[in-house]
């Protein structure tokens, strides 16, 4: 049984983890399961194919829109009510996609659906850190991340299967119904962590919300170089993977003329590699510090991205590009949860606000970076994608080096 910092029973612990995982899975599934049908969406709504990556990037940017507010609000009113509101908003916006008739409404709903991702990052992640001790929290973040990664791994294949019986509208309606079930699970098992007495007798105090105080707290975080390095590094580290998710339908189906099933199968090596990296993280956490884990993860991470740029320069085919992405993905899986923990504890401020800004910065980097890669031709040729994705991911190295330096005395260390 996991060691909890607050007094909750094992049944509630299991239900909480299950409901949280299901909500995270759905927020990603709402993006990935529809990707095989995106060309059908643009055709039916009489829109240009450029809306395929645009809709994906809008989903990511939707995750950024409210995080700056959700974190401080959850610090005052608690994690539980905010997460229930977020899951309800997500479910309604998914079901509403069944009724839309133009690409503008579709893109607006993608933005609203993406806000569900913001609730996951700004509300549920701090709750997880406040329920479990450090080692268990990092381990659970990685293991829960494995389940979330089943979305881009199995989402396209599931989407192809569902399209045999349902239209893309029916898929969104199904997602809305699943979100309703998750909402009831959170209602039953989601514990409150703000203002609740912990096992050691301390409490995570509620922080009253005020615009002036919130602005001052955000300004303090923006002046924290260790926090900024960790948050921006998180976005750049994930950029090649995010760009692949957004551009793969264009590259594989439209450019390389693969079938939707072949498109789905080519996702398996990449996302299986991320899961393998997370499992390695779980094993190595017992004997190594977070900093040591990140240093170890940089070997496959950097080698994969360097090979990706080599593939671009020499015009390698799809197989070498996917193999390079898979090697990079192992390093990403080994390091992502550790870097997130360092970002969260780079400041002594409340974890709702810190997590919100971490999510805003990292997702903004991913969304804007993915849009930039698409704008400069990443979706038109495999070589262009490999070059820009490889170079974009390697840009995190100076930030990681700065992050791994010993913290200054006025910056809180996670250990």
Confidence at residue 305, expressed as pLDDT on a 0 to 100 scale: 97
SS3 of the chain: the string is CCCECECCCHHHHHHHHHHHHHHHHHHHHHHHCCHHHHHHHHHHCCCCCCHHHHHHHHHHHHHHHCHHHHHHHHHHHCHHHHHHHHHHHHHHHHHHHHHCCCHHHHHHHHHHHHHHHHHHHHHHHHHHHHHECHHHHHHHHHHHHHHHHHHHHHHHHHHHHHCCCCCHHHHHHHHHHHHHHHHHHHHHHCCCCCCCEECCCCECCCCCCCHHHHHHHHHHHHCCHHHHHHHHHHHHHHHHHHHHHHHHHHHHHHHCCCCHHHHHHCCHHHHHHHHHHHHHHHHHCCCCCHHHHHHHHHHHHHHHHHHHHHHHHHCCCHHHHHHHHHHHHHHHHHHHHHHHHHHHCCCCCCHHHHHHHHHHHHHHHHHHHHHHHHHHHHCCCHHHHHHHHHHHHHCCHHHHHHHCCCCCCCCCCCC
Q: Which domains does the chain have, with CATH numbers?
A: 10-190+223-403 (1.20.1250.20)
Tokens of 368: 């804007």
Tokens of 268: 């398996």
Confidence at residue 8, expressed as pLDDT on a 0 to 100 scale: 78
Confidence at residue 86, expressed as pLDDT on a 0 to 100 scale: 93
Confirm if 42 and 52 have CB atoms less than 8 A apart. Answer: yes
Confidence bin at 398 (pLDDT 50/70/90): very high
Asked if the model's pLDDT at residue 52 lies above 80, the reply is: no
Asked if the model's pLDDT at residue 134 lies above 80, the reply is: no
Confirm if 363 and 61 have CB atoms less than 8 A apart. Answer: yes
Q: Of 35-49, 108-122, 298-312, 336-350, which has the strongest mean pLDDT?
A: 298-312
Instruction: Go through the chain and tell me how many residues it has.
Output: 415
Residue with tokens 């170079």: 391
Asked if the model's pLDDT at residue 263 lies above 90, the reply is: no
| pLDDT (average), residues 235-260 | 89
Q: For residue 226, what are the CA distances in angstroms to 26, 184, 230, 293, 339? A: 32, 39, 6, 18, 11
Half-sphere exposure of 40 (CA within 13 A, CB side): 13
Helix 134-162 to helix 318-344 angle (10° resolution) is 140
CA distance 157 to 413: 42
Asked if the model's pLDDT at residue 415 lies above 50, the reply is: no
Could you report the per-residue pLDDT of 79-128, keeping only the tens digit for each?
899 999 999 999 999 999 999 989 899 999 999 999 988 888 778 878 88
Asked if the model's pLDDT at residue 409 lies above 60, the reply is: no
Asked if the model's pLDDT at residue 47 lies above 50, the reply is: yes
Confidence at residue 246, expressed as pLDDT on a 0 to 100 scale: 82
Confidence at residue 384, expressed as pLDDT on a 0 to 100 scale: 94
Asked if the model's pLDDT at residue 412 lies above 50, the reply is: no
Confidence at residue 149, expressed as pLDDT on a 0 to 100 scale: 64
Asked if the model's pLDDT at residue 219 lies above 90, the reply is: yes
Indicate the pTM of the whole model.
0.75
| pLDDT (average), residues 202-231 | 88
Tokens of 257: 């003329």
Confidence at residue 146, expressed as pLDDT on a 0 to 100 scale: 67
Confirm if 348 and 221 have CB atoms less than 8 A apart. Answer: no
Asked if the model's pLDDT at residue 388 lies above 80, the reply is: yes
Average pLDDT of the chain is 86
For residue 159, how far is the Cα from the chain centroid? Answer: 20
Asked if the model's pLDDT at residue 413 lies above 50, the reply is: no
Confidence bin at 231 (pLDDT 50/70/90): very high
CA distance 223 to 217: 10
Which residue did the predictor score with more confidence, 323 or 27?
A: 323
Which residue did the predictor score with more confidence, 136 or 400?
A: 400
Confidence at residue 89, expressed as pLDDT on a 0 to 100 scale: 94
| pLDDT (average), residues 64-69 | 82
Confidence at residue 261, expressed as pLDDT on a 0 to 100 scale: 80
Half-sphere exposure of 32 (CA within 13 A, CB side): 26
Residue with tokens 């898979």: 326
Confidence at residue 65, expressed as pLDDT on a 0 to 100 scale: 82
Asked if the model's pLDDT at residue 6 lies above 80, the reply is: no
Q: Encode 264-285: b = buried (16+ Cβ within 10 Å), e = exposed.
A: bebbbbbbbbbbbbbebbbeeb
Confidence bin at 1 (pLDDT 50/70/90): very low
Which residue did the predictor score with more confidence, 378 or 197?
A: 378
Query: For the CA atoms of the chain, what is the radius of gyration?
Result: 20
| pLDDT (average), residues 240-264 | 87
Asked if the model's pLDDT at residue 72 lies above 80, the reply is: yes
Of 194-198, 280-284, 353-357, which range is least confident?
194-198
Of 162-176, 271-285, 299-313, which range is least confident?
271-285
């Amino acid at each position: 049984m996991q060691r909890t910092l607050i007094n909750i029973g094992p049944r509630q612990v299991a239900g909480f983890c299950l409901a949280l995982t299901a909500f995270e899975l759905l927020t990603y599934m709402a993006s990935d399961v529809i990707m095989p049908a995106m060309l059908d969406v643009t055709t039916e709504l009489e829109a240009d194919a450029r809306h395929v990556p645009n809709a994906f990037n809008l989903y990511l940017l939707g995750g950024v829109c409210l995080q700056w507010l959700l974190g401080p609000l959850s610090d005052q009113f608690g994690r539980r009510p905010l997460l229930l509101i977020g899951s309800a908003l997500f479910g309604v916006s998914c079901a509403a996609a069944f009724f839309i008739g133009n690409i503008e409404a579709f893109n607006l709903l993608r933005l609203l659906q993406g806000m569900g991702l913001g609730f996951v990052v700004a509300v549920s992640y701090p709750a997880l850190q406040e329920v479990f001790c450090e080692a268990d929290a990092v381990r659970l973040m990685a293991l829960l991340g494995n389940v979330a990664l089943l979305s881009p791994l199995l989402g396209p294949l599931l989407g192809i299967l569902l399209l045999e019986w349902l239209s893309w509208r029916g898929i969104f309606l199904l997602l809305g119904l699943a979100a309703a079930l998750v909402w009831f699970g959170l209602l039953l098992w989601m514990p409150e962590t703000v203002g609740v007495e912990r096992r050691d007798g301390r409490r995570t105090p509620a922080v009253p919300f005020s615009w002036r105080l919130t602005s001052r707290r955000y300004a303090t975080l923006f002046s924290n170089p260790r926090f900024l390095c960790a948050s921006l590094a998180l976005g750049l580290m994930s950029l090649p993977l995010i760009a692949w998710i957004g551009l793969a339908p264009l590259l594989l189906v439209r450019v390389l003329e693969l079938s939707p099933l072949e498109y789905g199968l080519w996702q398996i090596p990449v996302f299986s590699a991320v899961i393998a990296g997370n499992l390695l993280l779980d094993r190595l956490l017992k004997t190594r510090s977070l900093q040591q884990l990140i240093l170890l993860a940089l070997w496959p991470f950097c080698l994969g991205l360097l090979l990706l740029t080599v593939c671009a320069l020499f015009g390698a085919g799809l197989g070498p590009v996917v193999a390079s992405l898979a090697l990079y993905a192992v390093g990403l899986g080994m390091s992502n949860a550790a870097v997130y923990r360092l970002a969260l504890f780079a400041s002594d401020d409340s974890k709702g606000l810190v997590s919100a800004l971490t999510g805003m910065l990292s997702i903004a980097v991913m969304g804007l970076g993915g849009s930039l890669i698409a704008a400069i031709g990443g979706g038109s040729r495999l070589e262009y994608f490999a070059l820009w994705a490889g170079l974009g991911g390697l840009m995190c190295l100076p930030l990681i080096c700065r992050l791994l330096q010993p913290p200054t005395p006025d910056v809180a260390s996670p250990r």
